[in-house]
Amino acid sequence: MGTDHGLCGNWNKKVFHNDHPIVVELGCGRGEYTVSLAQHFTDRNFIGIDIKGARLWRGAKTINEENILHAAFLRTHIEWLPQFFAPGEIREIWVTFPDPQPQISRENRRITNPKFLKMYRELMGKDGIFHLKTDNIGLFEYTLEMLEKEEGALEVCTKDLYVDTPENFNTSIQTTYEQIFLKKGFKINYLRFRWS
């Protein structure tokens, strides 16, 4: 677990060759959200992370075909992020439509449990921004409860993103799951939290 893969602390120097803020999407699947963010925000660097290489292939192919130099993909377990990123190296983290792990016995696998939130805070440092989009109200409310114990501010919280849309929020950037849920009439929950 203590292995340093060489990129730790060096993403901007070795991969992006700029000093832009780094934004990470966890559990990015095929990478459509990471790619869309990169297409819309050229002043930041984006890294999509997933454990399944077959999924990542689609996003990696797109950024290569479109010559998007400020986006990349990484195949690893979320638990192993400290091997790849130095404390404070990440500016923002997006979690989009994760497995809610609804059973109480699986709380330790929820991507927003206290163990993961502690790791995110360390990797982002002060003023790090955490985003969550989910159709699952149980996971959303669980995450709000966990964030109440964190030092920082809940800047945005909506249980119906497409009715109560935050100012300057780009609703055109959607995951495949999000598009499916919207067609079925599901409400999308969204929060933005900033650590202090």
176 and 154 Cβ atoms separated by less than 8 Å = no
The structure tokens listed for 38 are 């990169």
The structure tokens listed for 54 are 């077959």
Helix (H) or strand (E) holding 182: helix 176-183
SS3 191: strand
80 and 50 Cβ atoms separated by less than 8 Å = no
Q: How many CB atoms lie within 10 A of CB 13?
A: 11
Q: Is 127 a catalytic residue?
A: no
Q: How far is CA 121 from CA 17, 87, 92, 128, in A?
A: 25, 9, 10, 7
What is the distance, to the nearest Å, from the Cα of residue 124 to the centroid of all Cα atoms in its chain?
A: 12
182 and 36 Cβ atoms separated by less than 8 Å = no
33 and 96 Cβ atoms separated by less than 8 Å = yes
Indicate which residue of 4, 99, 127, 160 is catalytic. Answer: 99
Any idea what DSSP says for residue 80?
G
Catalytic residues, which ones?
99
